[in-house]
Structure 1
Amino acid sequence: MNVIETSLPGVLILEPKVFGDERGFFLESYNKQALAKVGIAGEFVQDNHSRSVRNALRGLHYQIRQPQGKLVRVIQGEVFDVAVDIRRSSSNFGRWVGTNLSAETKSVVWIPPGFAHGFLVLSDVAEFLYKTTDYWAPEHERCISWNDPDIAINWPLQDEPMLSAKDKQGLALKKAELYP
């Protein structure tokens, strides 16, 4: 596995070894020992799978209690994936990093606890898989506005994004409940 550090310490892009021939391909999508060697030693407790259409924007989500580390990848289509550091004590507080994830490249992103996460679907359809280090706890789930000017994410939008009712209610970073 090739590990690429991003501009936000702790957020990693992982490129798995892909073995292909005329029959198709094989890759190891999860290996606890290999991840521990690159500093991802958390226990994963839940797998999630979403399907979204072009221009759907999900995020920016996090849990204020039971924070989740997320190991994310796309198995169909393409998304622009974003992590935002929302730890007040961090020297990178409020900074974001984004990368394209696709079924074609098969890259994976590690988003540690303490970061908000979101993605925008760039293809007609995208299927998104992610493992989490803690269980979903709706009572602790929070959402920061996807278009907060203080974060200023450069989303590759062609039109207005499709948002859930929850995401339309996202708070500004200045008003959100955040990590210490």
Structure 2
Amino acid sequence: MSEVEISKNITEHRKRKKLTIKELANLTGVTPSLLSQIEKGSANPSINTLKQISSALDVPLFNFFINDDKTESLVVRKDSRKKIMLSKEDSFAYELLTPNLQGSIEFMLMKIPHKKSSSKDLFSHKGEEVAYVMKGSVNLYIMNNVIELNCGDSIKILPHTVHKWENINDCDCEVIFAVTPPSF
């Protein structure tokens, strides 16, 4: 990917956050002049500068290196989803239902095999999450509570709320969820 495309991605993320170059400069400690040159493609940012911009815009650094091809398909076919497997030993998996993680929301399918959980400990993320149980039932450990969710139930999980999913049943469970902003 060329610097021009990196600069275009930086500009797009800055505009999505409704920041001026001067406002982004104040957040990053990078001069407005350098930011302007980076966005025009006339200056090559260092990795440290990219990290500062990434942090200020609250987007993963790798988003600057993703080619935003305007012809990219908006359809995700069932057999071509991106998958995250937690281990090779079990079939616990997350499947990305959106074409990529660009944008302000991620949509995922979580497949929880019987007698498995999403993590050993409760965890949290900065995003707000809404989940819907598509198949089976699951226990959601949230804060100091355990909530049983059955097929057809849904729940909203507020940002930074510690939680984990556990399937204590004898059949597999599937949960679809959306998180904004993306956390994977």
| Larger relative helix fraction | 2
Higher Rg: 2
* TM-score (structure 1 length as normaliser): 0.28
| Larger relative strand fraction | 1
